[in-house]
Each structure stands twice: as structure tokens, then as C-alpha cells.
């Protein structure tokens, strides 16, 4: 059986080269690219501005779709939807659609599992199976847009995996999302999150990408981060802050720091004061996220009173502080939870 070449995840330039290789004019690539990435069409026969002969030719030699929706869970407390996708190799990944007024955000995975092993994250229990291709990252958005019939406005690379350990494919997917013939989502509305892969932070800065950057902090000392974010043993906190300042100074953009608040671990007033001191001398934003509890991991969120005390201490800071509630708490919406619940 012929192995068909996959067109999802190709840049426009790559698609032009592909069309030329089969004797077609390069402008055909623009048409196909738009059908795939803006209109979320997975069937060549539905690309009505192409000739029937070309549609048949494409059907015989290429394919677009490599993901299938395995399961969906709809939240009863907000408008979140959790998607479990099956890949061609039999593996599974997750995406989450989060809705808030006119803001429609998709949270994307970049790996099957994750090698970092953060103990608070259900994805860490899976381990790393492999990186996703750029096409598999892109298809998550295309499928959700098609299935939900919603115009997605925001993208966060915060699902399963560490985007900066799948750097080239993550950046390539983000660039496709930003293109005029694709979803055309502004760089300001695309956030790439990392737990602190310092060499890639410097690469990202030097290469001048404009997508917004988020760093999962989750601790105010090396001892805390060693436990919660094991990559800290290789890239310690002081080096991470140094790299963050380098990014801020050279890009003129603020980093958003994500701080998951875990009961009796990193939720004391002393933690809040250390956090304020750590981030106060450069422009940034801080999201405080009460832990999204799940049956697979024995961590808990702090009480509302403890949360209020923690945040009130941080409101003395010169940087912006936001409390961000996890979406879809009733549908296993945190990373890896639906995957783990299905014991796949």
C-alpha cells in the first residue's frame, strides 16, 4: 500500500515545492494551504476551486488528516470541552477548548506524554513516548475549529509535553497559525509555555519570535523547583531568571510567569514575599493558578482564605498579578488527566 505524503503542517513554501514536484503551478499551493489551514477542510474532493483531475491526483498521492477524535467531554460548570485524539500510530493526545465571552482559546499538546516528570502533572505519569510533528500540532486546532464551529481567537501551547523540547515543530506550528492564509491568529494571542529549557529561551530570544512567552515557575527556591519541576536540577532558578531578563531586555516583551498554588507546599506568605522579590526588578506578569485536583495525584489546592492571603501579599508587587482558575475542573481538563483516566 502506498504511503501517502501528509500535507498538514507544511509551510506555504514547502507546499509550493510539493506542488512543483508533481508538475503543478506553485499558486495551487496557496489554494490548498488555505483550504487546510483556514477552512479546516480535510477532504481534497471538497476543494471546489481545484479541477476534478487535480483533486483526484491529490487524493491518490497525499492526505491531510492524521488525527481522529476518540472522545470528548463537555464541562457542566463552564463551556470547556476536552478532546482526546487518536493518532495514526495508535497513540493519544489531548486538547482543550476554553471559552470566556468572546475569547475562544485552544490548549495544544506538543508531545505524547512528557519527559520532565513534574509530579503535580498527570502527563508526567505517562513519560515521553515521542514528539508530535508540526502537522499533528496544527491538526488539533483544525479539528477543534471544525468540530466546534467556533472561530478560535487564542492559542496556548500548554497541553501535554514541553514545547521547547519539541522546539522546531512547535515554532513551525505557531507560524502556520499566524499566517494570512491560515487561521491568521495574532502573535500576541499565541502563547508558548516552557518549564525553563534555558538554551532554547536564549535561542527563542535571539531568533526574534513575537509569540508570547510563559514560564512555569511553581516555586520560589531551588529546593521547591527541584521537587516540582525536576528540570530545575539542570537549569536552576537563578539561571532561569537570568534568561528571562535577557528575553525581556532584548524583545521588549513581558514574560508571563505561571505559579501553580499547592496546599502546604508553595502557598505560604513567605513564598509570596520571595516570589515578589524574585520578579520585581523586570517587567513581567504573574498568573496564580490554584491546583486543579484530580484522582491520579495526591496534591490539593489551598483554601480560599489561604489563596486570598497569598494574593493580597502579591498585590504589593510592581508587576501585574492575576488569579487564573482552571477551566473544566469537572472534565479532567488538566494536562494528561483524560488520557490517564482512560488508562490508555
Burial 193-225 (b: 16+ CB within 10 A, else e): bbbbbbebbeebbeeebebbbbbbbbbbeeebb
Long-range contacts of 339-343 (CB under 8 A, 24+ apart): 339/84, 339/92, 339/93, 339/94, 339/122, 339/123, 339/126, 339/160, 340/122, 340/125, 340/126, 340/296, 341/296, 342/71, 342/84, 342/92
Picking from 46, 63, 80, the residue at the C-terminal end of a domain is 63
Whether residue 219 sits in one domain with residue 264: yes
Picking from 63, 80, 101, the residue at the C-terminal end of a domain is 63
Res 77: pLDDT: 83
Whether residue 129 sits in one domain with residue 32: no
Residue 255 forms beta bridges with which residues?
Answer: 284
Identify the DSSP state of 316. Answer: T
Whether residue 223 sits in one domain with residue 133: yes
Res 234: pLDDT: 98
Identify the DSSP state of 76. Answer: S
What is the extent of the structural domain holding 36? 5-63
CATH number at residue 45: 1.10.150.530
Res 319: pLDDT: 96
Res 336: pLDDT: 46
Whether residue 57 sits in one domain with residue 87: no
Whether residue 142 sits in one domain with residue 12: no
Picking from 63, 80, 109, the residue at the C-terminal end of a domain is 63
Total number of domains in the chain: 2
Please write down the HEC assignment for all residues of 95-142.
EEEEEECCEEEEECCCEEECCCCCCCCHHHHCCEEEECCHHHHHHHHH
Whether residue 157 sits in one domain with residue 46: no
CATH number at residue 95: 3.20.20.70
Res 335: pLDDT: 52
Whether residue 220 sits in one domain with residue 99: yes
Res 327: pLDDT: 58
**H or E stretch at 17:** helix 12-21
Which amino acids are annotated catalytic? 94, 335
User: pLDDT tens per residue, the chain (344 residues)?
Assistant: 468 999 999 999 999 999 999 999 999 999 999 999 999 999 999 999 999 999 999 999 999 999 999 999 998 888 899 999 999 999 999 999 999 889 999 999 999 999 999 999 988 889 999 999 999 999 999 999 999 999 999 999 999 999 999 999 999 999 999 999 999 999 999 999 999 999 999 999 999 999 999 999 999 999 999 999 999 999 999 999 999 999 999 999 999 999 999 999 999 999 999 999 999 999 999 999 999 888 778 899 999 999 999 999 999 999 999 998 765 555 554 554 445 454 44
Instruction: Note the pTM of the prediction, 2 decimals.
Output: 0.93
**Rounded to an integer, what distance in angstroms lies between the CA atom of residue 242 and that of residue 226?**
18
Whether residue 215 sits in one domain with residue 189: yes
* SS3 assignment, position 239: helix
Whether residue 228 sits in one domain with residue 304: yes
Whether residue 270 sits in one domain with residue 187: yes
Whether residue 83 sits in one domain with residue 49: no
Whether residue 132 sits in one domain with residue 30: no
**Rounded to an integer, what distance in angstroms lies between the CA atom of residue 123 and that of residue 108?**
13
Res 297: pLDDT: 85
**Rounded to an integer, what distance in angstroms lies between the CA atom of residue 107 and that of residue 209?**
20
Amino acid at each position: 500500500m502506498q504511503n501517502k505524503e501528509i500535507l498538514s503542517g507544511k509551510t506555504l513554501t514547502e507546499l509550493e515545492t510539493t506542488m512543483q514536484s508533481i508538475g503543478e503551478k506553485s499558486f495551487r499551493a496557496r489554494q490548498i494551504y488555505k483550504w487546510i489551514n483556514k477552512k479546516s477542510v480535510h477532504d481534497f474532493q471538497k476543494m471546489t476551486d481545484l479541477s476534478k483531475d487535480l483533486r483526484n491526483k491529490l487524493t491518490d498521492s497525499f492526505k491531510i488528516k492524521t488525527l481522529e477524535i476518540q472522545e470528548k467531554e463537555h464541562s457542566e460548570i463552564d463551556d470547556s470541552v476536552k478532546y482526546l485524539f487518536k493518532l495514526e500510530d495508535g497513540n493519544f493526545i489531548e486538547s482543550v477548548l476554553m471559552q470566556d465571552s468572546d475569547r475562544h482559546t485552544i490548549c495544544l499538546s506538543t508531545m505524547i506524554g512528557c519527559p520532565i516528570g513534574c509530579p503535580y502533572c498527570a502527563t508526567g505519569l505517562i513519560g515521553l513516548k515521542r514528539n508530535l510533528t508540526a502537522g499533528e500540532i496544527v491538526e488539533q486546532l483544525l479539528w477543534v475549529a471544525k468540530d466546534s464551529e467556533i472561530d478560535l481567537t487564542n492559542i496556548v501551547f500548554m497541553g501535554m509535553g514541553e514545547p521547547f523540547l519539541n522546539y522546531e515543530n512547535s515554532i513551525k506550528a505557531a507560524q502556520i497559525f499566524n499566517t494570512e492564509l491560515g487561521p491568521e491568529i495574532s502573535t500576541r494571542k499565541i502563547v508558548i509555555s516552557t518549564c525553563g529549557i534555558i538554551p532554547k529561551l536564549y535561542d527563542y530570544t535571539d531568533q526574534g519570535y513575537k509569540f508570547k512567552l510563559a514560564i512555569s515557575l511553581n516555586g520560589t527556591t531551588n529546593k521547591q523547583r527541584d521537587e516540582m519541576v525536576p528540570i530545575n536540577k539542570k537549569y536552576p532558578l537563578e539561571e532561569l531568571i537570568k534568561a528571562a531578563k535577557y528575553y525581556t531586555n532584548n524583545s521588549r516583551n513581558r514574560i508571563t510567569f505561571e505559579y501553580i498554588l499547592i496546599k502546604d507546599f508553595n502557598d505560604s506568605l513567605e513564598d509570596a514575599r520571595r516570589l515578589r522579590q524574585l520578579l520585581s526588578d523586570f517587567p513581567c506578569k504573574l498568573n496564580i493558578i490554584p491546583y486543579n485536583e484530580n484522582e491520579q495525584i495526591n496534591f490539593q489546592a489551598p483554601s480560599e482564605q489561604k489563596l486570598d492571603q497569598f494574593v493580597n501579599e502579591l498585590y504589593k508587587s510592581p508587576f501585574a498579578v492575576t488569579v487564573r482558575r482552571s477551566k473544566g475542573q469537572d472534565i479532567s481538563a488538566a494536562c494528561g488527566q483524560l488520557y490517564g483516566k482512560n488508562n490508555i
